[in-house]
Amino acid sequence: MDINKQRKDPRFKIAVKEAWIGIGLVLFNFAWWFGFAYGPLGSGSVESYHFIFGLPAWFFYSCVAGFIVMSVLVVLAVKLFFKEVSFDDEAEGEAEPK
């Protein structure tokens, strides 16, 4: 498929938008994890740690709470921003000969 055909195909515009949403989610996930793991909660001495459910607070917020937050954000992103797209070229009337 040449580049001009890709520019005209609306599926590529949708795919690029969805890829940027995915990249944004990954960057948010990394910032969340890094902020809690290496931020004020995780940079103190072990004796000063606070514990939640037997886990250090920095670990609980970066890994456990982060997983829950990211799961909710991914579900919301898929439901609100992602679209069903056909992968068939026949959708455009461009069926390739067999």
Which of 97, 89, 98 lies closest to 5 in space, CA to CA?
Answer: 89
C-beta separation of 32 from 52 below 8 A: no
Sequence ranges of the domains in the chain:
24-83
pTM for the full predicted model? 0.74
3-class DSSP state of 31: helix
Residue 68 CA neighbour count, 13 Å, CB half: 5
Per-residue pLDDT reduced to its tens digit, 37-92: 888 777 777 787 888 999 998 899 999 999 999 999 999 999 999 888 887 765 45
Task: Calculate helix-pair angle for 10-38, 66-81, nearest 10 degrees.
Answer: 160
